[in-house]
Structure 1
């Protein structure tokens, strides 16, 4: 599988994850809106608020991953994909297989 195919697959998976998390977030918000729970005084309110924040954080991470993947696709189109943005060395194939949108080699990532 080529780098562009890996990135396209990662992009598709990330878009699916964003869609699922958005739906989950909307469900949590709808459930809390239809409830008369007072987040501050209701014991269940803290759980609802925590769940909403947890899903929001996961959604933010997925959106950032999409930005990173799109950036990697642009680097691939420009011929710069697979080169460390810090030191200029080649990024190991294993790292790119695990994280196709990686911008740095493992040494610079540490």
Structure 2
């Protein structure tokens, strides 16, 4: 895919994030099943992490992944609207290097640093 094709980059990232969410959902379902097992006493296992701890980790990663997916989809909408690459705060162009590093960026570096 060409480096100057933001729609293709964003669509590829959307596919990656969607696949990651599916894996995380499967992990979550597996952990829920393990946790429902009355014989699983992992809270007292000194050798490994607890099911609760792993469940919290999966939930946190899933939440962050969902937020990024939402941002990517919003950026795809900006591409479709013809406003991709324009800072939502100051209206100036977002530098290409920033968009290459973070294709879903909605603010230029100067405006993003104000947050």
TM-score by length of 2: 0.84
After the TM superposition, list the runs of 4 or more consecutive aligned residues in structure 1 that deviate by more than 2 angstroms. 35-39
Q: Across the two proteins, how many residue pairs are aligned to each other?
A: 108
Write out aligned runs for 1:12-91 (5 A). 12-37=15-40, 42-44=43-45, 47-91=50-94
Change (3 A) 1:48 1:104: same
3-state DSSP of counterpart to 2:26: helix
Task: Give the whole-Å Cα distance in 2 for the aligned partners of 1:108 and 1:38.
Answer: 50
Task: Give the whole-Å Cα distance in 1 for the aligned partners of 2:90 and 2:44.
Answer: 51
Structure 1: segments with no counterpart, 5+ residues: none
TM-score by length of 1: 0.88
Task: Give the whole-Å Cα distance in 2 for the aligned partners of 1:92 and 1:98.
Answer: 10
Structure 2: segments with no counterpart, 5+ residues: none
Root-mean-square deviation (CA, aligned residues, Å) is 1.9
1:7 corresponds to which of 2, 6, 10: 10
